């Protein structure tokens, strides 16, 4: 079995301007520098308008914190007003990009086909996609969370070759747990994350499946992260609200301390 370094990523959503972003990343860097903190990989996903400032800080101070975007255009360039391309994100040295976050699916009509095109755009430009999947409350109540989520995995990774799939990050985020304070139980998280790894093994073989990092996201906080991270198929957390508080996010990152 491949050892997987946990990825703790903060999705800032539409919060923190570029000045606040600098102060926030400085706080994270300071709090994670007192010992050589390498137990986890740490990433922030700020709004597009913050990325240049974050890049300058991370590059200038040689910080280990990674950063990425919350969305990517499926197109490379052209008449797509308001869109940001993978080439632009790559130029800013983004390591990651979230694809298909439930808020993109809900408010911007992003289908699995669109997510698939965005996953491919990210890989084309050397950026690791964090493919977000997960069921809504109605699906959960009907007990169809596994089938629903696996269909999103299949759709998002359609025609993605094994060598790329081995590096993708998948974030299982039950929609009913996002920003609601409702956290899935560790067993709920493991049920679906384990099923995702099983599907990856069917699609690409066990060796590839064992390399993929699968995050849980949905009201993760310092108080609940350790139990979730103890699950065998959970390799990190995608953190929304709690990532806006630098001290809380550091406590989440240091869940093992
Ligand atoms: C998210 O936005 O991906 C998320 C998980 O949000 P929250 O932690 O606030 O539920």
State residue 36's pLDDT score: 57
The Cα 195–Cα 222 span in angstroms is 26
pLDDT at 2 over 60: no
Distance, CA 172 to ligand 1 centroid (Å)?
Answer: 11
Q: Which residue from 177, 181, 221, 241 has its CB within 8 A of the most atoms of ligand 1, so it is best to mutate? A: 241
pLDDT above 70 (res 35): no
Task: Give the Cα separation of 23 and 3 in Å (integer).
Answer: 33
pLDDT at 242 over 80: yes
Domain count, the chain: 1
Residue 200 lies in a domain: yes
Q: What is the pLDDT of residues 141-155, one digit of tens each?
A: 999 999 999 999 999
Query: What is d(CA 129, CA 165) in angstroms, rounded to the nearest whole number?
Result: 10
**Catalytic residue ranges:** 101, 173
For ligand 1, say whether the CB of 173 is within 6 Å of any of its atoms.
yes
Q: Is 217 in the pocket of ligand 1 (CB under 6 A)?
A: yes
Query: Is 1 inside a domain boundary?
Result: no
Cβ 102 under 6 angstroms from ligand 1: no
pLDDT digits (tens, 9 = 90+) for 65-107: 999 999 999 999 999 999 999 999 999 999 999 999 999 999 9
Residue 2 forms part of a structural domain = no
- Nearest 10 degrees: Cα torsion 79, 83, 86, 89: 130
What ipTM did this prediction achieve?
0.97
Question: In this structure, which residue's CA is closest to atom 8 in ligand 1?
Answer: 240
Q: Helices marked H in the chain — which ranges?
A: 18-32, 51-60, 86-91, 102-108, 112-124, 137-141, 145-156, 162-165, 186-204, 206-211, 225-229, 246-253
Q: Would you tell me how many other CB atoms lie within 10 Å of the CB of residue 252?
A: 25
Residues near 57 by Cβ (< 8 Å), separated by ≥ 6?
Answer: 22, 25, 26, 63
CATH assignment at residue 162: 3.20.20.70
For residue 241, give every residue at least 6 positions away whose Cβ sits within 8 Å of its Cβ, in sequence order, or none: 179, 219
Question: Is 248 touching ligand 1 by the criterion CB < 6 Å?
Answer: no
At 37, the pLDDT band (50, 70, 90 cuts) reads: low
- What are the beta bridge partners of residue 177? none
> For residue 191, what are the domain limits?
7-253
CB 113 within 8 A of CB 155: yes
Q: Scanning the structure block, which residue is given the tokens 């990325």? A: 51
- Ligand 1 centroid–CA 205 distance in Å is 30
How many Å apart are CA 119 and CA 168, to the nearest integer?
A: 9
**Beta carbon of 174 within 6 Å of any ligand 1 atom:** no
Cα(248) to ligand 1 centroid in Å equals 14
């Amino acid at each position: 079995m491949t050892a997987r370094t946990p990825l703790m990523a903060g999705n800032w959503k539409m919060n923190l301007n570029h000045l606040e972003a600098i102060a926030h990343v400085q706080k994270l860097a300071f709090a994670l520098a007192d010992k050589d903190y390498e137990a986890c990989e740490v990433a922030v996903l700020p709004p597009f308008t913050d990325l240049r400032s974050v890049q300058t800080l991370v590059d200038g101070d040689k910080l280990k914190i990674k950063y990425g975007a919350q969305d990517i255009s499926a197109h490379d360039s052209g008449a797509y007003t308001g869109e940001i391309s993978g080439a632009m994100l790559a130029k800013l040295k983004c390591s990651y990009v979230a694809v298909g976050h439930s808020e993109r699916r809900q408010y911007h009509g992003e289908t699995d086909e669109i997510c698939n095109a965005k996953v491919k755009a990210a890989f084309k430009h050397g950026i690791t996609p964090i493919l977000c999947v997960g069921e809504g409350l109605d699906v959960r109540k009907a007990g169809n969370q596994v089938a629903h989520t696996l269909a999103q995995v299949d759709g998002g990774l359609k025609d993605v070759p094994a060598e790329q799939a081995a590096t993708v990050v998948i974030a299982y985020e039950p929609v009913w747990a996002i920003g609601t304070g409702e956290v899935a139980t560790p067993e709920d998280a493991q049920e679906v994350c384990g099923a995702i790894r099983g599907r990856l093994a069917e699609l690409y073989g066990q060796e590839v499946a064992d390399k993929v990092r699968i995050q849980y996201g949905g009201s993760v906080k310092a108080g609940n992260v350790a139990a979730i991270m103890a699950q065998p198929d959970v390799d990190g957390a995608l953190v929304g609200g709690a990532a806006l508080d630098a001290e809380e996010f550091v406590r989440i990152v240091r869940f093992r301390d």
